[in-house]
Amino acid sequence: MGLIGMKAHQMVYTFDEADPDNVKLLGGKGAGLCLMMQQGLPVPPGIIITTEVCRMFYEAGEKLPDGLMDEVRVKMKYIEEKTGKKFGDPENPLLVSVRSGAPVSMPGMMDTVLNLGINDVIVKGLAKQMRDERAAYDAYRRFLQMFGRIVLGIDEKLFNEVFEEVKRKYDAKTDAELDVEGLKEVVEKFKEIIKREYGELIEDPWRQLELAIKAVFKSWNSPRAVFYRKAHNITPDIADGTAVCIVAMVFGNIGETSGTGVVFSRNPATGENELYGEFLETAQGEDVVAGIRTPRPISELKRINPKLYEELYAGAKLLERIKKEVQDIEFTVERGKIYFLQTRNGKLGPIARVKTVVDMVKEGILTKEEALLRVSPNHVIQLLYPRIDTSVKVSPIASGLPSSPGAVSGMVVFTADEAVEWSKQGKRVILVREETKPDDVHGMYASVGILTSRGGMTSHAAVVARAIGRPCVVGCEDIVIDYDNKLFRVKGKDIVVREGEYITIDGFSGNVYLGIVPTVEPRIPLELEELLSWADEFRRLGVRANADIPEDAEIARKFGAEGIGLLRTERMFRALDRLEVFRSVILSSDADDRRRNLEKLIPLLKKDFIEILKVMNGLPVIIRLFDPPLHEFLPKESELMSEIMNLKLEGKFEEAAEKEKLLKRVSMLTEANPMMGHRGVRVGVVYPEIYMAQAKAIFEAVAELIKDGYDIKVSVMIPQVSDVKELIYVKEHAVDVAHRDVESKYGIKVPYKYGTMIEVVRACLTADEIARVAEFFSFGTNDLTQAVYTFSRDDAEAKFLPKYLELGILEFNPFETIDVKGVGKLMKMCVEEARRVRKDIEIGICGEHGGDPKSIEFCHKIGLDYVSASPYRILVARLAAAHAALKEKGLKLSEY
Amino acid sequence: MGLIGMKAHQMVYTFDEADPDNVKLLGGKGAGLCLMMQQGLPVPPGIIITTEVCRMFYEAGEKLPDGLMDEVRVKMKYIEEKTGKKFGDPENPLLVSVRSGAPVSMPGMMDTVLNLGINDVIVKGLAKQMRDERAAYDAYRRFLQMFGRIVLGIDEKLFNEVFEEVKRKYDAKTDAELDVEGLKEVVEKFKEIIKREYGELIEDPWRQLELAIKAVFKSWNSPRAVFYRKAHNITPDIADGTAVCIVAMVFGNIGETSGTGVVFSRNPATGENELYGEFLETAQGEDVVAGIRTPRPISELKRINPKLYEELYAGAKLLERIKKEVQDIEFTVERGKIYFLQTRNGKLGPIARVKTVVDMVKEGILTKEEALLRVSPNHVIQLLYPRIDTSVKVSPIASGLPSSPGAVSGMVVFTADEAVEWSKQGKRVILVREETKPDDVHGMYASVGILTSRGGMTSHAAVVARAIGRPCVVGCEDIVIDYDNKLFRVKGKDIVVREGEYITIDGFSGNVYLGIVPTVEPRIPLELEELLSWADEFRRLGVRANADIPEDAEIARKFGAEGIGLLRTERMFRALDRLEVFRSVILSSDADDRRRNLEKLIPLLKKDFIEILKVMNGLPVIIRLFDPPLHEFLPKESELMSEIMNLKLEGKFEEAAEKEKLLKRVSMLTEANPMMGHRGVRVGVVYPEIYMAQAKAIFEAVAELIKDGYDIKVSVMIPQVSDVKELIYVKEHAVDVAHRDVESKYGIKVPYKYGTMIEVVRACLTADEIARVAEFFSFGTNDLTQAVYTFSRDDAEAKFLPKYLELGILEFNPFETIDVKGVGKLMKMCVEEARRVRKDIEIGICGEHGGDPKSIEFCHKIGLDYVSASPYRILVARLAAAHAALKEKGLKLSEY
């Protein structure tokens, strides 16, 4: 395409002319400034160089595009007119800030230069203009330090040392106590540093401006900015370059009627509807951020200057109403006049996030739909884990990537073997490694948390920690581990943490703290219940719980579960009073023997069923019959071998011989691949007595509860079905037999539904046949995923899955989120085939994916009837199900 | 539906009026008789009661339909007219045989009564008519015995005892030596038996006839007939009832110019084009069958009575030409006149089957297509195993169901443990059990053959024997096992076989022989090569071989393989001189260490590749890179534990500690489900060095051979791929790297193709993506079947698959024949998706199914390019592939 086809884009916009909704072009900061300006709020005038220019800068090999500076010069006139000052004019100087501003917030990642347009001559004019010589020199020294560091790349330490030295000389405890003479001396010394380190002083304001613009663009690709974007999955389609805002300076450092502050339109921790924030008198913005002086709470401003407070409050509320989000605002007061310098959506804690959207609905700011779409499932998840107590003020010593949720304290250990050793002694340990490997998995199990200095969200440590439910922080590059001396140091800080010392890690923020930091146990705020009741109005998917014991069923009901989608019956055989009997069932010589032994278990099983079914009175309960391979209930081969070895070493040969007999039986039952072995319905077919005993216990429980007036809705679910004939066989030879027996014994009708797990590939492929017999399907997506990939979750996650994620061969862990291309394709096929044969067949999902938001959205899309999740995940599922329904209507989730 | 809607079917047909092609209605015997009659061959006249009547008989609760006997009476006139005799007329009596005849041959399973229509009065007229009193009484005593046993249900032993007694009294060594006085005494005594046992004598010929018809119908559902049909998979759509033939008797027992015989139109063992059979003078047909007297070879008839021989020969050849099959003919000569009594397709040995069809093509009887369709893959399979030497005359002591091919001799043992024990001592044993169970599998492995007294073709013993390749006879109900005394008896025979005695079992016929019966080693007849060259003309599917060593490749090439479809590379690491090195590769601490160790293996691997590639000069060879989990190459956990135990018991604690270290590493590598673990491309991704070493060895081999003037067509195949990115990764990081290195080292182009096994479900589901990278696919249907069913072959076949087959939950073993509904559906989907993206993608199959005829037909249907089978199965595959193509044209396989 020739030049003729090219359109000359406008590269620079004034705050008055740009469209505040075009965040992608203007960056978040720029768009916010335009908005405020156009809404009539007091904003220092300014202009924006667009993100497009940033891309052009990189395309041209880090060169500013031709004509850019000309356009800047033209637009600068706008600022000059508005302020009545002139850039570079010693008589009436205009100073500007040069700020970065990407389309998404990347806090602290990119650079800003304040007070630009100053030099030895101009500072004098500024002093006059300000009527405050000290403030002028304060601005000058700040400029020199910032410009020196950011634009010229000079080590900041040099400036700080000099500054501290001068303060000592003048006996100034704080920056504010340093008088103008001191500041002049600082300025001179700063200039020397720059000349020495950079070779020259940049005195021309326009050269300052050009270099600062370049520096801001360059900061977009600084290693830490690149890392941040990668870690937060900010891809070019979301943000591809930063804008540059050039804004007229206002000064918070001119005496006591000036100051600066940051404020949230609501409390970002609690969600209370009050201004929340702090301000600092006689200071520029960076002082607040840097925490050099202690600011005062914003509530004091109300007392000191109610008019100013009112103006701030009104502005904040106006912005909140327009943006429909809590606003995080920076402001400066120059000689009693307030200026809004920045507004952006506030980052809220999970409780605040929930409370504010519920309140905003009540205030008429948000619709219920909007409120729902502003809370992510991740916020709800955060409410389910222990969190750092934000009421306690502590600073992290280091920070990495939050890769598995929860906050936890423990003693530092540096090897997996030590983790195991120490945990055996009852100690709570946090395993600290540069990175973890498959060999470390036993140590990860033994730890309460994991911290690594390398690796990303999909590193081995991260994947395994999520899989086994341990809080985890990875890629914490601030720490340097010294394995030999069993300690780690924190970079740039004089902190050493030795083996056995306590640390606390926060799997939500990625922060690492020294010692034991108090954590808050999960609490479900009332507003969440209200929000989720709205979610229930919008969602189409039902939400049920996976629950095996009455306690879980109670929680699930409380959290809004509409039934039990999966009641596993295995643990009923594992309890101590049953295991021995069940072992004798397994080792029985024939069916009669087996039946006799099972008979003893039926009353115990019945009791279990009665307890949990009572809790779920009125709601459907799906009970899955026995699933695991039988040898799981016998001692392990290797354990028996050790025992035999020890007995022999002790000379107890007779006992050893006994054990050897058992070992022989166990060896025969042991399978090369138990997951693909004799389990599920395969056990039910070969030993129908087992299913019959379970069915009997279930139906007797139901019969007794019905007699007691309960409303029981029970479904019997068969696992691992690969062919409809299996389903028919165990119905005819076990379930129906038990059912007839029980009905005739109790003399009443015992209603039940009969269906199957869909967790075998062949069941999906022959869903039409299976649906002729099954009244309901429930996807077991964990097993299905294993079968579709032919790899087992445990082996994969411990051994090669992290590598796969790291290399990008897998884009996500298919055991966390449904693999739509493979597993999902099969599921969709299955649903369609089944519904073709039995239109009203009830289809749900009871794999762990049932609690994963993305997977829930997929389940909604393919028309499942419900998802079943672990009790706490019910809350997540209700919200995610509503999101899925709203998205279908074309609504979008907010970016959180 | 009222009577008005019913159509009165014709229930009885004469030989002249029925359609000889309607075998289903007339039964095989009836249709043959009609054919011969209508072709002008001398056949005694007769009529047929159709198979429909048999069904009516059962529908009415074992009652003959109304009007049947009336219709029989009318039709009997036809026989009377043709013979000039009259049924029941003492002056000129017509005797008839009443014969069963099902649509498919069920030899010996159903009943026949000869000489019916006789009594004390009629026998006298018969004597006159025959001009042979002895023959008349001989016929009478035969009738009484057959009628008594078959129709009246009297124990045959009673008759036999009396007959032997009288023979002794008259000093007659053979039946024929017994004179008329003796026979009269036999008749009297037989009548007494009947009166005593049944209560009355049935003297009325018409009552005799009616009862005989009923008896024949009833024999259709005798337990042994039912069992036979089940064992041979004869379902109601194939044969649903027997016909009854009523045929005028001709007598082979009237003096020396009479006789009877059976003859094949060609030699059923060798296929030589000569009459083959035997005849017996002065005898009725049953004498030949019963083997009471020794018949003479048919060649002698040529000498004795050339005219008769000529007539027989001409008739046989006429029938052969019409039926296009070798005919198995029964005939009787009455006073020099020959009668054809039965013709049916001869059961031929595999060599004869192949030779006859090839000869018949040359004789113009068959087209090539017809010839191909008359040989089943099973015939070819039989040629691949040792068979009983048919030139040695031995009689089986018992017979069961042939359930796994091959003939083998061994010493009898009765428990699995003994089998293991004895085989360790170098003995060849045959495991004899009532039935086998999962606990017996180790003993089955230790045996050369398996014999069971119970169970069908899908019993545990049968399934496992086929899976592990041991000849097997099951359901041999003739034997009674006495475990306590370690022996078995043969029912009805005075034979006892004790532990340690030799028997021979024939997995083709189901026969069991005493002692060591000589077997013939497999031999491929020349005619098979000719036949298969015709198969090659018709088949569309290519046929390749699975071969890992040059010896197998040579055989495969000789048998017509068009390339190697699967060259597994695992064994190259297992050889003794490599295993230690490879173990050190596995235990390497890092990639560099691994690479160094692998470097040592490359020259050895290259040598292997050169050897086999040479053999396949000019033909394509697909080499699969490393597939199994790495820990397969390390000692087993349990073995190590035993070793450690022993070392400790011996006080060798240091050595034990060494082993314990190794044990720890092994434990870490060990997986819960190795089949679903770290294997195949997953190893290639995590340790690309391994694939790179293999690729290097391959490409160097190819380069050197090309330099030597060979024409090498090599393909590199990646196993266990679940996502296209795996395929891309190992190409970029291993295969292509090696390829570049080798090309630059040798300075020549090294052409190769890159593709993948399709053995993971997800690969099928994402075939479109994978086909963008893979130039060829090869289905690994063994693993695919395992994944689709989520059960592993070993565990399933040993543990629950036999039960599934027995219960009919599975109709066949999906590891033998492709499960079209599940696995096949995925394969079809995969082929379609792949071809959509890459039209010319080469798709084959290299799982064991590639040698299974039904599966080959399926592969043809879904459009695969080739099947790859083990070298010997190549012959089977070529034929099956031709069958698939011919069937597609609407042609049908003969029933063999």
pLDDT digits (tens, 9 = 90+) for B337-387: 999 999 999 888 888 999 999 999 999 999 999 999 999 998 898 888 898
A673 touches chain B (CB under 8 A): yes
- State the number of CA atoms in the 13 A half-sphere of A321 facing the CB: 10
Query: Do the bridges between strand B407-413 and strand B429-433 make them parallel or antiparallel, or are there none, so unpaired?
Result: parallel
- Residue B666's pLDDT is what? 85
What are the C-alpha distances in Å from A562 to residues A556, A850, A854? 8, 14, 21
Among the partner residues B642, B682, B786, nearest to A800 by beta-carbon distance: B682
Between CA A142 and CA A146, with CA A144 as vertex, the angle to 5 degrees is 65
Q: Contact at 8 Å (CB) between B517 and B394?
A: yes
CB-CB under 8 Å, A760 with B788: yes
How do beta strands B753-758 and B776-779 pair?
parallel
Q: pLDDT tens, B236-257?
A: 888 889 999 999 999 988 878 8
DSSP letters along B349-379, please? Answer: -HHHHHHHHHHHHHTTSS-HHHHHHTS-HHH
Closest CA to A512 of A475, A466, A463, A485: A475
- Taking CA–CA distances from A637, the nearest residue in chain B reads B638
Q: Please compute the mean of the pLDDT values over residues B174-192 and round it to a whole number.
A: 92
Give the gyration radius of chain A's Cα atoms.
Answer: 34
| Touching A: B residues 576-615, CB under 8 Å | none
Is residue A808 less than 8 Å (CB to CB) from chain B?
yes
pLDDT tens digit sequence for A139-173: 999 999 999 999 999 998 999 999 999 999 999 88
Contacts B675 to A, Cβ<8 Å: 672-673, 676, 790
Alpha-carbon distance A744 to nearest alpha carbon in chain B (angstroms): 28
Instruction: Flag if B803 and A685 touch (Cβ within 8 Å).
Output: yes
Q: Nearest-CA neighbor of B186 among B163, B203, B158?
A: B163
* A834-to-A714, A753, A764, B764 alpha-carbon distances in Å: 22, 16, 9, 21
A859 is catalytic: no
Q: What is the C-alpha separation between B779 and B784, in angstroms, rounded?
A: 8
**Interchain CB contact of B729 with A (< 8 Å):** yes
- Which residue from B226, B426, B404 is spatially nearest to B797, judged by alpha carbons? B404
Which chain A residue has its CA at the smallest distance from B801's CA?
A: A682
Bridge partners of B624? B568, B717
Tokens linked to B217: 């119908």
Check CB contact of B417 with chain A, cutoff 8 Å: no
Distance, in Å, from the CA atom of B631 to the CA atom of B635, rounded to the nearest integer, reads 8
B445 Cβ under 8 Å from any chain A Cβ: no
Å from B480 to nearest chain A CA? 22
Note the pLDDT of residue B249. 95
Mean pLDDT value across residues A516-540: 93
Q: Give the alpha-carbon dihedral of A662, A667, A673, A678, to 10 degrees.
A: -60
Distance from CA of B773 to the nearest CA of A (A): 14
- Count how many pairs of residues, chain A against chain B, have C-beta atoms within 8 Å: 188
Residues of A in contact with B589 (CB under 8 A): none
Q: Distance from A142 to chain B by nearest Cα, in Å?
A: 52
- Position of tokens 């003994």? B418
B430, B503 Cβ separation under 8 angstroms: yes
Amino acid in the structure at residue A520? V
Q: A674 and B678 in contact by Cβ < 8 A?
A: no
pLDDT attached to residue A292: 60
DSSP states of A76-91 = HHHHHHHHT-EET-SS
The number of beta carbons lying within 10 Å of the beta carbon of residue A342 is 22
Chain B residue nearest residue A636, CA to CA: B638
Looking at per-residue confidence, does B397 or B390 come out higher? Answer: B397
Question: What average pLDDT does the structure give for chain A?
Answer: 92
Q: A87 falls in which pLDDT band (50, 70, 90)?
A: very high
pLDDT tens-digit series, residues B91-112: 999 999 999 999 988 877 778 8
Rounded CA separation B722/B685 (Å): 12
CA distance B647 to B651: 6
Question: With an 8 Å Cβ cutoff, are A790 and B720 in contact?
Answer: yes
CB contacts of B664 in chain A (<8 Å) are none
Q: Which of B1, B4, B32, B3 shows the shortest CA–CA distance to B18?
A: B32
State yes or no: pLDDT of A675 exceeds 90: no
**Structure confidence at residue A6 as a pLDDT band (50, 70, 90):** very low
The answer to whether B792 contacts chain A (CB < 8 Å) is yes
Share of chain A above pLDDT 90, in %: 72
Mean pLDDT on A323-345: 94
Q: What is the mean pLDDT of residues B532-542?
A: 97
Per the DSSP assignment, residues forming a β-bridge with A387 are A520
Does ipTM come in above 0.90?
Answer: no
pLDDT digits over A590-633, tens only?
889 999 999 999 999 999 999 999 999 999 999 999 999 988 89
pLDDT of residue A233: 79
**Chain B residue nearest residue A803, CA to CA:** B686
Give the nearest partner residue to A792 out of B648, B673, B765, using CB atoms.
B673
Q: Which pLDDT value is given to residue B292?
A: 60
Asked if B637 has any chain A CB less than 8 Å from its own CB, the reply is yes
Which of A 682-721 lie inside 8 A of B, CB atoms?
682, 685-686, 720
List A residues 745-784 in contact with B (Cβ-Cβ < 8 A). 759-762, 765-766, 769, 783
Among the partner-chain residues A438, A675, A726, the one whose CB lies closest to the CB of B676 is A675
pLDDT at residue B358, as a whole number: 97
Nearest residue of B to residue A643, measured between CA atoms = B645
CB pair distance less than 8 Å for B725 and A765: no
- How would residue A289 be classed by pLDDT, with cut points 50, 70 and 90? low
The closest alpha carbon to A23, from A401, A344, A346, belongs to A344
* Interval A638-654: pLDDT, tens: 788 888 888 888 889 99
Q: What percent of chain B has pLDDT over 90?
A: 72
Give A286's pLDDT tier (boundaries 50, 70, 90). low
Decide if A676 touches B, using CB distance below 8 A. Answer: yes
Amino acid present at B394: V
- The CA distances from residue B44 to B17, B37, B138, in Å, are 15, 8, 20
Contact between chains at A791 and B825 (C-beta distance less than 8 A)? no
DSSP conformation class of B18: S
Residue B677 contacts A where some CB pair is shorter than 8 Å: yes
Comparing CB atoms, the residue among A671, A792, A825 nearest residue B676 is A792
Q: What pTM, to 2 d.p., does this model score?
A: 0.84
Which residues of chain A have a CB within 8 Å of the CB of B637?
A: 638
Taking the Cβ of residue A674 and every Cβ of chain B, the question of whether any pair is shorter than 8 Å is answered with yes
pLDDT grade for B410, boundaries at 50, 70 and 90: very high
Question: Which listed residue (A460, A739, A849, A883) is catalytic?
Answer: A460
> Alpha helices, DSSP H only, in B170-222?
180-198, 205-219
Q: Which residues on A lie below 8 Å from B799 (Cβ)? A: 671, 677-678, 686
Q: Cβ contacts (< 8 Å) between B638 and chain A: which residues?
A: 637-638, 641
Q: Does B635 contact chain A (CB < 8 Å)?
A: no
Q: In the predicted model, is pLDDT for residue A83 greater than 70?
A: yes
Q: Which of B720, B760, B794 sits opposite A672 (nearest CB)?
A: B794
Amino acid at A827: M
For residue A5, pLDDT over 60 is answered with no
Contacts of A826 in chain B (CB under 8 A): 761, 765
Return the pLDDT at A650. 87
d(CA B851, CA A495): 70
3-class secondary structure per residue, B100-132: EECCCCCCCCCCEEEEECCCHHHHHHHHHHHCC
Looking at residue A796, what is its pLDDT? 87
C-alpha–C-alpha distance, residues A822 and B767, integer Å: 10
Q: Which residue of A has its CA nearest to B651?
A: A649
Chain A: residue whose CA lies nearest to B719:
A790
pLDDT digits (tens, 9 = 90+) for A182-227: 999 999 999 999 999 999 999 999 999 999 999 999 999 988 888 8
Which tens digits make up the pLDDT trace of A702-757?
Answer: 999 999 999 999 999 999 999 999 999 999 999 999 999 999 999 999 999 999 99
- Is B71's Cβ below 8 Å from some Cβ in A? no
- Smallest Cα distance from B725 to chain A, Å: 5
Q: Name which of A438, A720, A789 is nearest B790 (Cβ-Cβ).
A: A720
The counts of H helices and E strands in chain A are 37, 33
Q: Which of A678, A762, A790 sits opposite B760 (nearest CB)?
A: A790
Query: Is residue B808 scored above 50 in pLDDT?
Result: yes
Is-catalytic flag, B54? Answer: no
Going by C-alpha positions, the residue among B586, B552, B786, B547 that lies closest to residue B670 is B586
Measured between beta carbons, the chain A residues lying within 8 angstroms of B436 are none
So what's the pLDDT on residue B896?
Answer: 53
What's the pLDDT tens digit per position in B570-609? 989 988 889 989 998 998 878 899 999 999 999 999 999 9
Give the sign of the dihedral formed by CA B698, CA B701, CA B702, CA B703: positive
